[in-house]
Structures are given as structure tokens and as C-alpha cells.
């Protein structure tokens, strides 16, 4: 226990001593300011001795003597660091140069304290004038001269430049005081070079340039190797003439083994070693132009030239085709001719012509005739020859135009719907463009269009009001006037007639329907192309039956109706024309079954023949007669146009064979037909007049009511 107390006491003592010592060290001094001074001044001339003095103002405890660390900077880069107990320090620049110009700063560090001075600019004026020297001042073309530019005592990165007046000869950057370089001079004539040099030094964003050095005159003597070019017989010749070229140089250099003489035309070297030989060629029209003799000795090149004009012996032949446009089966001529000939050398009869098709000889003549067809199509060219000169014409493509073929006519996006616009397309599989298409209706022009692009189509808008109108359309195509007109077939496409407004009929008559009876709903349309979709609707517009048929009517039977079936009924119809048509609404009231009813004439006069003759429709009156038992109706009114006739219904045996409901339904059906034909002289399908004469007599019938209704609709 005693040992632990002693250890704890010692640790506490050391901590107190450490804190006391640290506090004393931190309070011995304070760096108040640091200043940098430049002596003798901030702007001096080259060669001046310059001193930079860094001085610190420090507050310190009596008897303390801190260590100072001085750091000097130039353009923010450290130059020097020095540790001392002095309160100021010097940085000396003896014999200052422009290189020493810049921004200077200093900093003082004492312990953990650091303080920096502000920046001070030093400007040193005056660059040393450089000195130029060369190894020789007289030389020949192609010789080199060694030039040295020296800036004795200058420091830093220097850029030296050698010049001949305004022309720069060489430039180089170095950290040394001089630049040495070999320079070559190539000139076409004797002249003097006035060479001098200078240098520059970059000081941040500024560039200081020295004065020009001394000027040295260098004399350059031209090499006498310029060749002389000769051409025979002259520089103006005609195709086929022989040209001879020769190149000569001064005999002083002629035997120099390093001398090379060449004959050049454009970018083509025609001959080498021309100093010892000539160059011969037969002149052609495209040989006109500049010819050069070039003499080369080392890096020196000398040349002389002559312009040669080669006149045509005859002009390039031209191939022509007449007429320029030819249809298959028509005659055409190909001719080859030249416009210009050199009459001093040849006559027109001296020129031979050859006509080629696809590089195969067609005829050895200036003219070729044929009838245009597929095998005559191709590229034609001709060749003209005279005195060894051969010239070719350019290729001419011949392609006979194809007469238009019979056009095809069709409908875009069939079927066609009556009273709706649709597009008609006309197109010929064969025929050279442009093609003129004409749409006609019953030989009357509806519209015309010209097709000039292979991707273009002839399209016409049309509309019909009846299915039979579709075949009245046809089109014509032509591409070579009236003689080329071709006519298509008449248009044959499926035609859809939209449905007309449906006629909705209820059997029995809505006012005579009792509970337990079957009610037949009939929906018929006056027009419309099958298949027809019929839909029947009852109370609250609820669909009760939908069917698709191939006829223009449909029926639906409500079996054993109850009073709950009372309400409004109607039907709808539509077909591929997508036009929905709705009938008028019929209200059906189902009564209580406490009597039997039948429709009969009141009062009928029946002749011996069983035919009731009425003067007019106004004399027909219908009334409901109530019997305890079903009566035997033997007369049913029919209507054709404005005439009312009667068809006798003969039965065998007792009338009990045909029930009362049957006769009631048949009677209502006849009234339905009577009403329909009263409003139209056509059948319910709008096709033929209602053939009432063909309504069959129903004899010896023991059928149900549905069979009787079937007889009636077979009649329809």
C-alpha cells in the first residue's frame, strides 16, 4: 500500500512540472510582425549587388533568447532557410541579372509560431547584348556554316534566335549562356546573308528581349548546275509527231559523278541520267503541259522547263443515239463522229470507226441501226483510229422504254361500303416511267395522275351509292401517247350495304296478348348485306336475344308470357359496315287470360267464290269478336300496292284442327305485311315487289301456329 502512494505522488509531481514548463515556453515570446526590405532599392540595373533583409519584431520575456528560423521565397518557391538567434537576416544577390527579377517574401519560425512577410517586387533592368560568331563567311550553295550566339553571364532559361534580316534561320531554348548550330543556305543565285542573333527570357507573364547581336555578312556562291532543256522539232506539235528531249549543264559539273539529271512531266519522271542521253516520245493530245529538266547535286536542285502544246490530229469521237427515247419495237440509229481534224495531216476518210456494245464489237462503221428490244439494251461506245492514234468515246447507256402493260385495279382495304369513300389503286406491272393513270366511271374520266417515281402509286378516291356501281369503275394507263393506252378490267370487289332502319313487329298484336301465350318478336330490315346481327331488347334495355343470320330478318319467341313481361321492346341490327341501326319502340301489355279473341272482318259479305271484294282500303275495318269457342276465320286481308285482296283458307274437317292462337298470330302477321307494303312498294328486303299472287293457299292444314307463320315468311 505504501508503494502505490509513492508512485502516485511522483506521477503528479511530473505532470505539474510539465505543465509549468510548457506554459513558460509558450509565454516567453510572441512574433508581432515580419518585414522584408530590398537594398539598395526595388528596381536596379544589371550588375548591382542586391540584399534582401528579413526582420522580425518579437516580444519576449526578460532573459529569454529564442532561436529564429528564416525562410526566403522567390515567386512562391523557397530559396533559402537559415537558423540563428539574430533578430534579422540577409539574403544577398551579387551582380544581379534580369533573371533575379520577381516577387520575394520571407518567413520567421520560432518554436510553433510562424509568421510571413508581405511580398516585395525586385526588378533588374538590362539584358546583356549577345555576341555572334561564325566559322566562315564565304561558302557555296549547299555548304554549312557554324554559328555561335553567346550571352556571357546571363542566367535562367534563354531562348536564342538566329535571323537573316526578317527571316528566322533557327531557334533554340537552353539554360546555358550560348547556342551553337550548323546552318545551310540554298539559293538559286549568288547573294549575301546578313546574320545576327538575340535572346529572350520569360519572367512570369512578361518576356524580356535582348538587343540584337553584331551582324555578320556571309557570301553564298550559286552552283552552276542549272540545266538547259531542248525539244525537237518544236514545242508546238500535232498528235503522232515524234518529240525529242535533251538536258545539258555546264561542263564544269557535267562529269561530276554525284550530279543527277532527270526529265519530269507533272508528277511522272520520264527519264534519268539525261546528261548522257535523249528522251523520245510520240506526242498525244494529253501530253501537253510543262516538261522539266532537274539537276541535283547533294541537297541542291536546279531546274529549267518548257511548255509543250500537242494539237489534236482529230477530236475525241462522240457517240449519239437517235431518237433519244425509244420504245421497244421502234427503230433507232447509233452514230460515231469527230468534229475536229488536223487537215494538214489527214482527211476525214482516213479515220476508221468501230462501234462496241459492252466492249464487244458490233460494227466496223460509223453508223449502227436496229430495232429496239431487250437484247439491244446496254452501254455503247465507239473508237476512232488514224495514223496510229486511237481515241475512245465515253459510254452511252441505251435502254429501250417498255410500253405500259394492262393495269390492275383494286380497292385499298376492302370491302367497299355503300355511301362511304374508299381508295382505288391502279398499277401496271411493266412499263417505263412516267406513266399516266386515268380513273374512269362508265367511260367518264373521274381523275388523272402521273407516276414518275418507282415507289409512287396511282391512287384515287371514290364513293358508290349502290352495289352495282362498283363495276362502273375501271382505269387506263399510258406512257407513249394514245397508242399506248391499256385498259384494266372493271373493278370487282365485295360491297357492303349498311343496314336500314329495322321494322320491329310483335305477334300477336300488342293489345291482344294474354298470359300464357307465346309472343313472337320479328325484326326485319329494308336493306343490308348479310350476315346481319340482330339483337332484341326488353325492359330496361336488357338484351334478351342476339343472333347472326344470312337473311334480312330474324325472330324470337317469348314462350308463355306473364304479366311481368309487359314493357317496352325494340331491336337493333348491324353488319360488316359497322353501322348500328335501332328500331322504334313497341310497348307490350300482357293481359289476364279470361277470354279468347280473334281478329275478323266486320261484317264480311262472302260471295259464292269465297272472295271478299272491297272498293278500297278505306272500306276495310277490323274489330275484335269474342266467342266462347274459337271461330273459323276463312278470310285474311292481304295488300299489294293500293289493292286489297283476299285469299281463301280452305280447311277439311272441324276448325278445331287449327287453334285460336294460331289464327290470331297469322292474322297479326298479315297485318304486319299489310303495314309494311303500305309504306313501300317493295319487299321488306328492298329487292323485289311483294308477290302477293304467289302466297300459297293453305288447304287441308293440320299444322301448328309456327308452321303457319313459316308459310307466311316463305312467302316473304
The answer to whether 74 touches 22, Cβ cutoff 8 Å, is no
Q: What pLDDT does residue 25 have? A: 46
**Separation of alpha carbons 377 and 158, rounded Å:** 78
From the list 280, 287, 336, 279, the residue with the least C-alpha distance to 313 is: 287
> Cα separation of 716 and 705, whole Å?
17
User: Residues of 603-629 as b/e, b for ≥16 C-beta within 10 angstroms?
Assistant: eeeeeeeeebebeeeeeeeeeeeeeee
Assigned C-alpha cell, 119: 511580398
User: 531 preceded by cis ω (within 30°)?
Assistant: yes
Say if residues 137 and 178 touch (Cβ distance below 8 Å): no
Q: Do residues 637 and 672 touch, judged by C-beta distance below 8 A?
A: no
Of 193, 276, 187, 192, whose CA–CA distance to 226 is shortest?
187
Please give the sequence-ordered ranges of beta strands (E in DSSP) within 249-317, or none if there are none.
260-265, 268-272, 278-282, 289-297, 300-311
C-beta neighbour count of 276 within 10 angstroms: 9
> Is the distance from CB of 311 to CB of 237 less than 8 angstroms?
yes
In sequence order, what are the residues at sequence separation of 6 or more whose Cβ sits closer than 8 angstroms to the Cβ of residue 293?
227, 228, 229, 245, 247, 261, 262, 263, 274, 303, 304, 305
Contact (Cβ atoms closer than 8 angstroms) between residue 314 and residue 240: no
Hey, is 5 helix, strand or coil? helix
Note the pLDDT of residue 543: 92
DSSP state, residue 223: P
What lies within 8 Å, CB to CB, of 596 at 6+ separation is 626, 627, 629, 630, 660
C-alpha cell at 356: 462496241
List own/partner pairs for 245-251 with CB under 8 A and 24 or more apart: 245/270, 245/271, 245/274, 245/278, 245/279, 245/280, 245/281, 245/291, 245/293, 246/274, 246/278, 246/279, 247/274, 247/275, 247/293, 247/295, 248/275, 249/224, 249/225, 249/275, 249/295, 250/224, 250/225
Contact 700, 680 (CB under 8 A): no
d(CA 545, CA 268): 98
For residue 175, cis peptide bond before it (omega within 30 degrees of 0):
no
Block mean pLDDT (10 aa), the chain, length 716: 42 42 57 93 92 91 85 92 91 91 93 91 91 90 89 90 91 92 70 91 86 91 83 92 88 70 90 82 89 85 91 94 93 95 91 95 95 94 93 95 95 92 95 95 94 92 94 95 94 94 93 91 95 92 93 94 92 94 93 56 38 36 36 36 32 38 47 46 37 35 41 42
Cα(61)–Cα(29) distance, rounded to whole angstroms? Answer: 6
Position 64 scores a pLDDT of 79
Contact yes or no for 67/87 (Cβ under 8 A): no
Which residue from 414, 436, 416 is spatially nearest to 426, judged by alpha carbons?
436
Beta strands at 77-84 and 68-74: parallel, antiparallel or unpaired: antiparallel
Tell me how far apart the alpha carbons of residues 452 and 272 are, in angstroms, rounded to a whole number.
60
Query: What confidence score (pLDDT) does residue 10 get?
Result: 47
Cell numbers found for residue 292? 522539266
**Cα atoms found within 13 Å of the Cα of residue 181, Cβ hemisphere only:** 19
**Angle in degrees, CA 256, 258, 260, rounded to 5:** 95
Amino acid at each position: 500500500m505504501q508503494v502505490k502512494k509513492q508512485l502516485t505522488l511522483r506521477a503528479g509531481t511530473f505532470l505539474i512540472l510539465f505543465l509549468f514548463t510548457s506554459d513558460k515556453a509558450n509565454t516567453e515570446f510572441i512574433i508581432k510582425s515580419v518585414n522584408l526590405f530590398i537594398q539598395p532599392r526595388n528596381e536596379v540595373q544589371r550588375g548591382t549587388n542586391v540584399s534582401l533583409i528579413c526582420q522580425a519584431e518579437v516580444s519576449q520575456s526578460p532573459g529569454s533568447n529564442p532561436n529564429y528560423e528564416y525562410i526566403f521565397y522567390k515567386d512562391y518557391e523557397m530559396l533559402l532557410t537559415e537558423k540563428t538567434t539574430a533578430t534579422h537576416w540577409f539574403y544577398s544577390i551579387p551582380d544581379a541579372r534580369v533573371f533575379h527579377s520577381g516577387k520575394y517574401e520571407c518567413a520567421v519560425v520560432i518554436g510553433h509560431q510562424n509568421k510571413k512577410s508581405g511580398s516585395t517586387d525586385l526588378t533588374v533592368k538590362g539584358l546583356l547584348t549577345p555576341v555572334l560568331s561564325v566559322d566562315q563567311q564565304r561558302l557555296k550553295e549547299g555548304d554549312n556554316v557554324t554559328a555561335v550566339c553567346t550571352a556571357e553571364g546571363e542566367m535562367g532559361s534563354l531562348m536564342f534566335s538566329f535571323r537573316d534580316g526578317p527571316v528566322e534561320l533557327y531557334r533554340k531554348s537552353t539554360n546555358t549562356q550560348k547556342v551553337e548550330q550548323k546552318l545551310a543556305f540554298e539559293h538559286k543565285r549568288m547573294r549575301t546573308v546578313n546574320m545576327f542573333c538575340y535572346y529572350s527570357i520569360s519572367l512570369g507573364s512578361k518576356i524580356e528581349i535582348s538587343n540584337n547581336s553584331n551582324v555578320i555578312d556571309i557570301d553564298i556562291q550559286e552552283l552552276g548546275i542549272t540545266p538547259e532543256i531542248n525539244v525537237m522539232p518544236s514545242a508546238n506539235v500535232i498528235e503522232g509527231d515524234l518529240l525529242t528531249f535533251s538536258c545539258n549543264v555546264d561542263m564544269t559539273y557535267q562529269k561530276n559523278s554525284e550530279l543527277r539529271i532527270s526529265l519530269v512531266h507533272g508528277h511522272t519522271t520520264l527519264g534519268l541520267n539525261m546528261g548522257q542521253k535523249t528522251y523520245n516520245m510520240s506526242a498525244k493530245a494529253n501530253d501537253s503541259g510543262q516538261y522539266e529538266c532537274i539537276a541535283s547535286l547533294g541537297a541542291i536542285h536546279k531546274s529549267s522547263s518548257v511548255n509543250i502544246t500537242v494539237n489534236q490530229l482529230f477530236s475525241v469521237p462522240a457517240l449519239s443515239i437517235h431518237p433519244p427515247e425509244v420504245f421497244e419495237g421502234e427503230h433507232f440509229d447509233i452514230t460515231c463522229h469527230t468534229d475536229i481534224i488536223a487537215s494538214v495531216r489527214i482527211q476525214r476518210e482516213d479515220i476508221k470507226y468501230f462501234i462496241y456494245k459492252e466492249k464487244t464489237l458490233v460494227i466496223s462503221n460509223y453508223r449502227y441501226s436496229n430495232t429496239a428490244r431487250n437484247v439491244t439494251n446496254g452501254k455503247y461506245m465507239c473508237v476512232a483510229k488514224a495514223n496510229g492514234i486511237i481515241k475512245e468515246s465515253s459510254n452511252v447507256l441505251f435502254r429501250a422504254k417498255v410500253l405500259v402493260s394492262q393495269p390492275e385495279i383494286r380497292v385499298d382495304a376492302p370491302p367497299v361500303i355503300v355511301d362511304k369513300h374508299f381508295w382505288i389503286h391502279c398499277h401496271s406491272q411493266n412499263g417505263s416511267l412516267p406513266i399516266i393513270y386515268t380513273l374512269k366511271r362508265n367511260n367518264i374520266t373521274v381523275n388523272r395522275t402521273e407516276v414518275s417515281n418507282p415507289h409512287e402509286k396511282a391512287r384515287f378516291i371514290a364513293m358508290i351509292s349502290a352495289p352495282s356501281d362498283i363495276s362502273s369503275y375501271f382505269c387506263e394507263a399510258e406512257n407513249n401517247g394514245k397508242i399506248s393506252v391499256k385498259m384494266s378490267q372493271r373493278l370487282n370487289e365485295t360491297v357492303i350495304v349498311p343496314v336500314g332502319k329495322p321494322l320491329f313487329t310483335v305477334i300477336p298484336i300488342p293489345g291482344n296478348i294474354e298470359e300464357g301465350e307465346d309472343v313472337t318478336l320479328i325484326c326485319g330490315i329494308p336493306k343490308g348485306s348479310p350476315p346481319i346481327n340482330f339483337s332484341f331488347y326488353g325492359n330496361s334495355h336488357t338484351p334478351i336475344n342476339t343472333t347472326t343470320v344470312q337473311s334480312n330478318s330474324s325472330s324470337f319467341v317469348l314462350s308463355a308470357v306473364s304479366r311481368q313481361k309487359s314493357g317496352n321492346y325494340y331491336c337493333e341490327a348491324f353488319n360488316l359496315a359497322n353501322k348500328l341501326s335501332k328500331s322504334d319502340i313497341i310497348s307490350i301489355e300482357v293481359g289476364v287470360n279470361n277470354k279468347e279473341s280473334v281478329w275478323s272482318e266486320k261484317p264480311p259479305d262472302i260471295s259464292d267464290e269465297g272472295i271478299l271484294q272491297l272498293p278500297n282500303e278505306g272500306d276495310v275495318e277490323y274489330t275484335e269478336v269474342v266467342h266462347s269457342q274459337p271461330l273459323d276465320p276463312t278470310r285474311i286481308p292481304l295488300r299489294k300496292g293500293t289493292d286489297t285482296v283476299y285469299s281463301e283458307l280452305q280447311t277439311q274437317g272441324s276448325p278445331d284442327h287449327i287453334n285460336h292462337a294460331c289464327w290470331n298470330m297469322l292474322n297479326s302477321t298479315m297485318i304486319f305485311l299489310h303495314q309494311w307494303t303500305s309504306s313501300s312498294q317493295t319487299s321488306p328486303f328492298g329487292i323485289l315487289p311483294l308477290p302477293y299472287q304467289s302466297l300459297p293457299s293453305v288447304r287441308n292444314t293440320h299444322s301448328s301456329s309456327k308452321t303457319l307463320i313459316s308459310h307466311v315468311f316463305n312467302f316473304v
